[in-house]
Amino acid sequence: MIEIENLNAWFGENHVLKDVSLKVPTNGSFGLVGESGSGKSTVLRTMTGLVDDWEGIMVVGGHELARKRNKDFYRQVQMVFQDPFGSLHPRHTIDRILSEPVAVHGLGNSDARVIRVLEQVGLDNSFRFRYPHQLSGGQRQRVSIARALILEPRVLLLDEPTSALDVSIQAEVLNLLAALRRDLGLTYIMVSHDLAVVAHVCDDIAIMNHGRIVERATASQLAQGSLEHPYSQQLYKAAGGYDRAVVDSFVDWD
Amino acid sequence: MTSETLLTVKNLAVSFTTSKGPINAVRGVSFDLGRERLGIVGESGSGKSQTGRAILGLTASNGTITADEMQFRDVDLRNLSPRQWRKVRGARISMIMQDPKYSLNPVMTIGDQIIEAYREHHKVGTKEATHRAIEMLEAVKIRDPQRVFKSYPHEVSGGMGQRVMIAMMLIPDPELLIADEPTSALDVTVQLQVMAILDDLVRERGMALIFISHDLHLVSSFCDRVLVMYQGHVVEEIRASELDLAKHPYTRGLLNCLPKMDGNHDDLPVLQRQASWAEG
């Protein structure tokens, strides 16, 4: 479904993605893990056309991406952002937030679409005419997911979709994402700093550092902790909680 | 835990008057604190931060605090005048907030901010204060303290910013440090490095620490004792080393709903809340 080869990107003089290559099969789920500044979100932003200065080959659904993305691309590929507070318009009702992409793409029948997509993300119809501030964080993130789903895309790009949520809510949203992938045959690329979240959702995982993929692993390799690159080992150990001896073994990766 | 009690809180309640009626954020919280690391864990809205703020008298003006007892060493923390608070806040009880981006002054160099904090509590000249500030930056393991001293907050990373906050809070040598989600905005490795600094300082100075966080695992790997809060109540108090033996269904639910690195993609157990938990 998705093939990226030797993707490089720049922010001005700053070389932020260095020869990133990845492949995701249809209905697969690929995880990108790394710390802030590692370039993991930039991969998604470059795919969706939010970064202008890039080189390389990106193929989505059999079509090579050109400099400009057309409408068809956005019907196929949608993105869910980290912060459900910042990504929903505070003065638009949920109904308006969800109908807008339908209008932009001229799909029509927006009433039925809104009702169906709310049901898919587990919100009942009473949410339809509320405003974002009347919803909890988890409900808001469900609305963000609904907004992405309303165009019936094939691919969801998930940029830290649960890191702003409480762990109990995170579990609900992760279960929702798993169910949607199963039921709708979606393909995911998920970006997260949390190794456990990515290991839970994704089959294939890449660990990024300073714009480069330093290691690739499958979920079962990660479960066994069989990582080779010292940077990924360090991340793996850090996920285990506070341990004085482990902290002392940390080095900075420049 | 040593037998010496630093802080006693009995039946603490914090409520806010809002246009939609009163909100009881904290309801009947009691605990004793010695020279130890106490974790307070809960989800958003559980009252964990309001508990920390009430101890320092930082509750917003539409809130009221009641308690049967709030004794910090020789000071009764109930009904202190603003003048009396100034002798406690910063000097004897200090607080580190979540995001250094918002708690540092953006138009003042880091050095000047630390000096300001120091001279607020100590009558010393600029030279002496500068010397102490650089010493503190070294104590929080900043490799190039001279450079950081002259930098503005936007010129340093999040982890560095939080170290600066710790340096500033510790310079008056407080007896109790309240850290409210001090590492939640940081990357995992940086988070642990900042915690190691707190760990060392608490040990070396014999300080007490209240560590407020939503991350039960992290807290239990770091603290001696953990209070688990739900809707303003403490539902369980447990020694951090015995977390696996937690009895309350809420604590167990919080532990179970975490994704694990076991290669298993099955649905996560979802926390089923019961109304009775909120009654304490």
Q: Does B119 touch chain A (CB under 8 A)?
A: no
Segment (H or E) for A5? strand A2-11
Are the C-beta atoms of A193 and A160 separated by less than 8 Å? yes
Record the tokens describing residue B277, joined without a space: 């938990």
Chain A to chain B Cβ contacts (< 8 Å): 111
Please tell me the distance from the alpha carbon of residue B238 to that of residue B228, in angstroms, as a whole number: 8
How far apart (Å, rounded) are the C-alpha atoms in residues A149 and A182? 14
Selecting from A169, A174, A220 the residue whose C-beta is nearest the C-beta of B259 gives A174
The region of weakest confidence among A69-83, A102-116, B51-65, B185-199 is B185-199
Which residues of chain A are within 8 Å of residue B188 when distances are taken between CB atoms? 35, 193-194, 235, 238-239
- Position A254 scores a pLDDT of 58
Mean pLDDT of A4-21: 94
Q: Do A171 and B258 touch (CB under 8 A)?
A: yes
Distance from CA of A45 to the nearest CA of B (A): 21
Give mean pLDDT, residues A81-90.
Answer: 86
Chain A CB within 8 Å of residue B156 CB:
no
Query: Which residues 212-231 of B are in CB contact (within 8 Å) with A?
Result: 214-218, 220-222
**Mean pLDDT for the stretch of residues B158-180:** 89
Q: Quick one: average pLDDT of B21-41?
A: 93
Flag if B158 and A234 touch (Cβ within 8 Å): no
All structural domains of chain B with their residue ranges? 1-92+176-280, 95-173
- Look at residue B98 in the predicted model and tell me its pLDDT: 81
| Candidate from B218, B265, B271 with C-beta closest to A200 | B265
Confidence of residue A84 (pLDDT cuts 50, 70, 90): confident
The C-alpha atoms of residue A74 and residue A94 are separated, in whole angstroms, by 20
- Cβ-based contacts of A199 with chain B (< 8 Å): 259-263
Q: For residue B251, how many other CB atoms are within 10 A of its CB?
A: 20
Q: What are the chain A neighbours of B187 within 8 Å (beta carbons)?
A: 35-36, 193
Task: Find the closest chain A residue to B269 by CA distance.
Answer: A171
Angle between helices B188-205 and A230-238 (to 10 degrees): 60
> What pLDDT digit, counting tens, does each position of B94-119 carry?
999 887 778 899 999 999 999 998 88
On whether any CB of chain A is under 8 Å from the CB of B260, the answer is yes
Query: How far is the alpha carbon of A44 from chain B, nearest alpha carbon, in Å?
Result: 20
Question: So what's the pLDDT on residue A91?
Answer: 94
**pLDDT mean over B233-243:** 92
Closest CA to B38 of B25, B51, B28: B51
Q: What is the pLDDT of residue B33?
A: 94
| Count of beta carbons in the 10 Å neighbourhood of residue B266 | 9
Alpha-carbon distance of A131 to A94, in angstroms, equals: 6
Q: Count Cβ atoms within 10 A of the Cβ of residue A70 and give its class: 0-12 exposed, 13-18 middle, 19 or more buried.
A: exposed
B153: which 2 tokens?
């907050």
Residues of A in contact with B253 (CB under 8 A): 168
Residues in chain B, how many? 280
A165: left (phi over 0), alpha (psi -120 to 50) or beta: beta
Q: Where do the H-state alpha helices sit in A164-229?
A: 167-184, 195-201, 219-224
Give the residue-averaged pLDDT of B124-140: 91
Q: How much is the pLDDT for A57?
A: 95
Residue B1: pLDDT over 50 = no
Is the Cβ pair B268, A171 closer than 8 Å? yes
pLDDT of residue B280: 62
Question: Yes or no: is domain B1-92+176-280 CATH 3.40.50.300?
Answer: yes
Contact criterion met (CB < 8 Å) for A239 and B261: yes
User: Which range has the worst mean pLDDT, A147-156, B69-78, B179-188?
Assistant: B179-188
What are the DSSP E strand ranges found in chain B? 7-18, 21-33, 37-41, 63-66, 69-72, 75-76, 93-96, 176-180, 208-213, 225-230, 233-239
* pLDDT above 90 as % of chain A: 74
pLDDT-above-90 percentage for chain B: 54
| Residue ranges of chain A whose CB lies within 8 Å of a chain B CB | 35-36, 137, 166-172, 174-175, 178-179, 193-197, 199-201, 203, 219-220, 222-225, 234-235, 238-244, 246-248, 250
pLDDT of amino acid A50: 92
Subunit contact A175:B259, Cβ cutoff 8 A = no
Domains of chain A listed by start with CATH number: 2-248 (3.40.50.300)
Selected for mutation to probe chain A from B143, B265, B273 (highest A CB count within 10 Å) is B265
Return the axis-axis angle of helices B158-170 and B126-139, rounded to nearest 10°.
130
Contact A244 B196 (CB under 8 A): yes
Residue A253: pLDDT band (50, 70, 90) is: low
Rounded Cα gap, residues A185 and A133, in angstroms: 32
C-beta of residue A105 within 8 angstroms of C-beta of residue A77: no
Does residue A100 register a pLDDT over 50?
yes
Is pLDDT at B9 greater than 80 in this prediction? Answer: yes
Share of chain B above pLDDT 70, in %: 99
Query: Chain B contacts of A200, Cβ < 8 Å?
Result: 259-261, 264-265, 268
Q: How far is B173 from B162, CA to CA, in rounded Å? A: 17
What would the mean pLDDT of B214-219 be, rounded to a whole number? 89
pLDDT score of B132 more than 50: yes
Q: Which residues contact A64 (CB under 8 A, 6 or more apart)?
A: A57, A58
Tell me what pLDDT residue B81 has. Answer: 92
One-letter identity of residue B49: S
Q: What is the mean pLDDT of residues B113-136?
A: 90
Which residues of chain B neighbour A35 with C-beta distances below 8 Å? 187-190
Q: Is the pLDDT of residue A209 over 50?
A: yes
pLDDT at B185 over 60: yes
Q: Say yes or no for a CB contact (<8 Å) between A199 and B259.
A: yes
| Mean confidence (pLDDT) of chain A | 92
* ipTM confidence: 0.82
The arithmetic mean of pLDDT across residues B163-177, rounded, is 89
Contacts of A196 in chain B (CB under 8 A): 258-261
**Cβ atoms within 10 Å, residue A113:** 20
